[in-house]
Amino acid sequence: MRMRRSLALVSGVAMAGALAASAAPTSVAAVQQSKASHHIGNVAGTTITLEGPNQWTQSGSSFGRPWNQLVNEFHKLTGVTVKTDVLPLTTFSSVEATQLAAGTAPDLLFKQTTYQPYMVVHLNKYLERPNPFVPGNKKWLSLYKPQAFSASVANTLDAQGNFDWVPFNLVGVAMYYNEKAFQKAGITAPIKTWKNLMTDCALLKKSGYTPIAMDNSNIGFVFPYRAIYPQLMESKLSSLNHFTTTGQVGSAQSINLEDYAWAVATGRFSANLPQVKESLVLLKELYDNCATKNWSGITGLSGDGVGLPQFESGKAAMAFAVDFGYGTMAASAHFPIASMAFPEITTATTKLSKNIPPDGGTSTGGTSYLIPAHTTGNQLKASLLFLQFMASKYIAPWLAKTGGVAAIKGIAPPPQDKAFFTGNWGKPLKINPFSSAGPDVAPGVSSNAAYDGYLLGAKSLGQEVSYLNGLFQQGAGYLVHNDGWSSQSWASSLPGA
């Protein structure tokens, strides 16, 4: 909220006093205090640095014009300057992990990295205080949608029960498609089943299109697999759901990190499960029949979608992308774009299906940031102020221009994101294939590095299963050590426990 100076009548005596005072030397501190009085937060003149991957454009130096407008608005309100440092999509996680461990990370850091709780500022006490950008608010945490960001949501709290980060938006993944390409190929949207998808990929090829844009980025693997895997693992949900969100024996709405570590340690989960094997077979079928042929040699540059240059140029008919990727795609493509949920894998494809439509709903896995523990003084105050600003009405124009979905209450999602909220696809994801060592399958092994050999034909299914089992053990062992579960009796079988 902008603070406005009030106008007042000044008497002759007061005016004389003011003139006399103006003749006296003015200290630098007094000038700074005067400037700060017109801004929220009383840290005007402070500069902070925010670091993370580009989730909106292909640029290696800017998050795009909507982001620049957003931080400029923050500067007007607070007098604080936010510098944005863009990290490469393929290496940001390892770079941030190294910085956090060394105590050299900047003031605000993209949260999808590996860290231990002591490395970051715990936000619990701040979330209990008012948000200065929201008039009348008494508790910052109350501004968020509780089904997306609260203590009851899996993997929101760290192992010590702390809030370490806050979301700027929510993320959902869907399939965007070129309406003209579908019309030319005689395809009716949305594509309803896996069997239909395979047929339609063949039709699109005959019409001169690459069916699904693909590249070698981590999300190139993550986005399609998170749509396939949960459909086959639905039958295992109850046997893997062992802990509440606070670490007590019980259950939660979705599988959390402790569930995963426990299931690996006790043998309840491994790559030997028929459901896991079948998910790998179907993923390879998707790559072989639908994806860009030379995908492994195409570098992914943006976190908002997979192979977007191929899609935006009209060469590929479909692309996996997040809700906030719409703005960039719509501005670059010269054809009508629409979105749809991922097709259902039915018993017509595999007996392991339960004929349950896939869920993929929006979550806080999009743009979320934390503050490193070594951030102090005005840098800490300004960083907290920016996180609070990102939970206010001031972010509405940014969300609208990027197609983003708000993590806070009171801002309606843009109409182009309809597919992200339609039917079962709009429901929260109950089981995620990436509940492992942070963004990696095992420490230092990214998701695409773990699966690319199989997808490229360099490994057989049996070899991939054996390789994954070793990685799952390492990943679960890392979680046990990192999150303080080593004393649990079930953890003793894991490496490093």
Q: Give the Cα separation of 309 and 214 in Å (integer).
A: 10
SS3 category, 145: coil
Beta-strand relationship, 316-322 and 173-178? antiparallel
Q: What are the domain boundaries of the chain?
A: 43-171+365-418, 173-363+432-493
Assigned CATH class of 43-171+365-418? alpha beta
Structure confidence at residue 420 (pLDDT)? 79
43-171+365-418 and 173-363+432-493 agree in CATH topology: yes
* DSSP H helices in 333-446: 377-389, 396-402
Structure confidence at residue 254 (pLDDT)? 84
Structure confidence at residue 27 (pLDDT)? 44
Structure confidence at residue 59 (pLDDT)? 86
Judge contact between 142 and 148, C-beta under 8 A. no
Judge contact between 366 and 168, C-beta under 8 A. yes
The CATH homologous superfamily of the domain defined by 173-363+432-493 = Periplasmic binding protein-like II (3.40.190.10)
Burial class (CB in 10 A: 0-12, 13-18, 19+), 37: exposed
Residue whose token pair is 């993370």: 52
**What letter would DSSP give residue 425?**
G
Structure confidence at residue 438 (pLDDT)? 52
Bond from prior residue into 190 cis (ω within 30 degrees of 0): yes
What single letter denotes the amino acid at residue 420? F
User: Smallest Cα–Cα separation from 291: which of 191, 216, 364, 361?
Assistant: 216
Distance from CA of residue 175 to its chain's centroid? 17
Judge contact between 407 and 168, C-beta under 8 A. yes
- What's the pTM? 0.76
Q: Which two tokens stand for residue 360?
A: 């993929």
H/E segment holding residue 440: strand 440-442
Judge contact between 79 and 45, C-beta under 8 A. yes
Q: Give the Cα separation of 310 and 316 in Å (integer).
A: 5
Q: Which two tokens stand for residue 136?
A: 């009348």
Structure confidence at residue 261 (pLDDT)? 93
Q: Give the Cα separation of 189 and 121 in Å (integer).
A: 46
Judge contact between 406 and 329, C-beta under 8 A. no
Judge contact between 205 and 186, C-beta under 8 A. no
Q: Give the Cα separation of 380 and 383 in Å (integer).
A: 5
Q: Give the Cα separation of 262 and 408 in Å (integer).
A: 33
Q: Give the Cα separation of 262 and 442 in Å (integer).
A: 15
Structure confidence at residue 425 (pLDDT)? 86
H/E segment holding residue 441: strand 440-442
* DSSP H helices in 103-192: 124-127, 179-185
Structure confidence at residue 24 (pLDDT)? 40
Judge contact between 179 and 329, C-beta under 8 A. no
Structure confidence at residue 497 (pLDDT)? 61
Q: Over its length of 497 residues, how does the chain's per-residue pLDDT go in tens digits?
A: 333 333 232 333 333 333 333 334 444 444 444 444 589 999 999 999 999 999 888 788 999 999 999 999 999 999 999 999 999 987 898 999 999 999 999 999 999 998 999 999 999 999 999 999 999 999 999 999 998 899 988 789 988 899 999 999 988 889 999 999 999 999 999 999 999 999 999 999 999 999 999 999 888 988 999 899 999 998 898 999 999 888 889 988 888 889 999 999 999 999 999 999 999 999 999 999 999 999 999 998 778 899 999 999 999 999 999 888 888 888 899 999 999 999 999 999 999 999 988 887 778 878 999 999 999 999 999 999 999 999 999 999 999 888 888 999 999 887 777 777 778 887 778 887 765 545 678 888 888 889 999 999 999 999 999 999 999 999 999 889 888 899 999 999 998 66
Judge contact between 49 and 83, C-beta under 8 A. yes
Distance from CA of residue 88 to its chain's centroid? 16
